[in-house]
């Protein structure tokens, strides 16, 4: 068991160089070394392996390493050298003061095993041998990468180069300019008859998302304080547009929400007058039947609203688990009201193009700020947890990651927050996309 804490200077070295480590570290090579030295248990290594692809494993390993005691840093350096990752070890060593620098172990060169001679069965008398050439070892050391001069955020923007996955048949086409329409409905001030509180902080969310999606090359239209029928009218108008020149469409709704009966997408969002529109009907406006010019194109919906009235108090975890201190404050608010009846929110007699019996949609993704049935937290001064995290991770990783990966990052970060020191929140999504989706993130770097 690890009883001592890692030296603060070593922890800061790992933090300052996290970007380089995540970019270049091959964690699979050092698992055995860290296990044999008692730095990690097998369960811990299995958990790191389950965190995702190589970059995610490297990120998780470096983060967990900071909690594994005083010997973890030097053991990490030894494992790097033993597995041919000396350049990373040198980066970390060079970040130490000269008086604290320790000699690194010699570079470990893995031997290349030569196959046994191969004899042709037709040449029993000749025994003709087929040999492979002798391995050639490098004679010059690998030049280490330049260490990061200052602390970096955990997620970083790599050099924007061509991506094979984006060019494959499994990736949505997204090269139109602008790439699509983005409708933001921001309900802040609710009418007294609705018995719903005003949503202080929602304007902060709206401003962030408006700027973010403009930077992602969308035509952004913002509508503020819409009644239920006006929400439907805006969605109907969006569905009747000709989207032939665009490659996708985005709808963002910031409002109070509730739980309703459904057979596909849960939840509903309220107009400022009180009545709600089910998310299921919202998505139907843009499906392939009601909006032919978006057929086969991705339709993305982001819902910042409660999915119900339950408050999640979470569950207890061990001190070694990766849980950061809660950022929620005593003034955090929710976007929930009690569950509404299906007759209030599922009536579609006035909108023949919003039927709930259409075929299962394709090319649709709905991202919810919270798990169905639970409240969603919002800081009146800083905006909602979900939008703040989504905006930041889009800024930091959209040039590298596909949308589903980005949303998993959002889920993870929001799940670590706590409201009033007690309540938790878990975002999620319903994904009917058929391909990978990448934003035009490189455009935000252009001047």
Residues forming the active site: 256, 306
Distance CA(59)–CA(143), nearest Å, equals 23
CA 251/CA 243 separation, integer angstroms: 14
With tokens 């982001």, the residue in question is 302
Taking Cα atoms as reference points, which of 340, 339, 195, 375 lies closest to residue 274?
195
Q: 274-311 in b/e burial notation, b at 16+ Cβ within 10 A?
A: bbbbbbbbbbbbbbbebbeebeebbbbbbbbbbbbebb
The span from the CA of 259 to the CA of 220, in Å, is 28
Q: Does residue 440 contact residue 179 with C-beta atoms inside 8 Å?
A: yes
Please tell me the distance from the alpha carbon of residue 3 to that of residue 68, in angstroms, as a whole number: 8
Task: Say whether the peptide bond before residue 12 is cis (omega within 30 degrees of 0).
Answer: no
Tell me the CB-side half-sphere exposure of residue 224, using CA atoms within 13 A. 11
Q: Three-state SS for 72? A: helix
On whether the CB atoms of residues 403 and 439 are closer than 8 A, the answer is yes
Q: How many helices (H) and strands (E) does the chain have?
A: 14, 14
As a whole number of angstroms, the distance between CA 440 and CA 398 comes to: 8
Q: Are 415 and 250 in contact (CB under 8 A)?
A: no
């Amino acid at each position: 068991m690890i009883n001592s804490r890692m030296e603060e200077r070593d922890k800061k070295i790992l933090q300052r160089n996290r970007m380089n480590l995540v970019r270049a570290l091959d964690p699979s090579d050092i698992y055995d070394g860290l296990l044999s030295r008692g730095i990690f248990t097998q369960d811990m290594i299995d958990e790191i392996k389950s965190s995702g692809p190589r970059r995610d494993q490297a990120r998780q390993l470096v983060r967990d390493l900071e909690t594994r005691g005083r010997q973890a840093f030097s053991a990490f350096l030894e494992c790097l050298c033993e597995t041919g990752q000396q350049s990373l070890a040198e980066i970390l060593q060079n970040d130490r003061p000269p008086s604290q620098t320790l000699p690194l172990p010699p570079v470990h060169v893995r031997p290349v095993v030569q196959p046994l001679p191969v004899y042709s069965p037709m040449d029993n008398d000749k025994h003709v041998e087929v040999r492979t050439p002798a391995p050639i070892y490098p004679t010059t050391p690998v030049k280490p990468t330049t260490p990061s001069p200052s602390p970096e955020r955990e997620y970083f923007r790599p050099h924007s180069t061509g991506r094979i996955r984006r060019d494959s048949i499994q990736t949505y086409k997204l090269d139109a300019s602008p790439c699509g329409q983005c409708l933001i409905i921001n309900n802040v001030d609710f009418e007294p008859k609705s018995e719903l509180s005003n949503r202080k902080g929602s304007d902060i969310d709206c401003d962030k998302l408006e700027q973010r999606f403009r930077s992602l090359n969308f035509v952004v239209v913002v509508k503020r304080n819409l009644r239920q029928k006006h929400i439907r009218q805006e969605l109907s108008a969006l569905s009747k547009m000709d989207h032939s020149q665009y490659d996708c469409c985005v709808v963002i709704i910031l409002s109070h929400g509730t739980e309703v009966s459904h057979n596909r997408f849960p939840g509903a969002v309220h107009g400022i007058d009180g009545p709600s529109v089910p998310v299921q009907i919202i998505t139907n406006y843009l499906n392939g039947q009601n909006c032919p010019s978006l057929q086969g194109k991705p339709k993305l919906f982001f819902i910042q609203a409660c999915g119900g009235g339950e408050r999640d108090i979470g569950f207890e975890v061990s001190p070694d688990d990766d849980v950061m201190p809660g950022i929620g404050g005593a003034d955090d608010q929710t976007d929930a009201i009690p569950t509404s009846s299906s007759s209030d929110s599922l009536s579609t007699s006035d909108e023949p193009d919003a039927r709930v019996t259409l075929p299962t949609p394709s090319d649709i993704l709905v991202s919810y700020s919270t798990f169905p049935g639970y409240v969603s937290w919002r800081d009146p001064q800083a905006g909602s947890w979900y939008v703040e995290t989504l905006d930041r991770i889009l800024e930091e990783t959209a040039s590298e990651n596909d949308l589903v990966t980005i949303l998993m990052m959002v889920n993870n970060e929001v799940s670590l927050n706590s409201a009033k020191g007690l309540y938790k929140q878990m975002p999620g999504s319903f994904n009917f996309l058929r391909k990978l989706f990448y934003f035009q993130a490189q455009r935000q770097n252009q001047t």
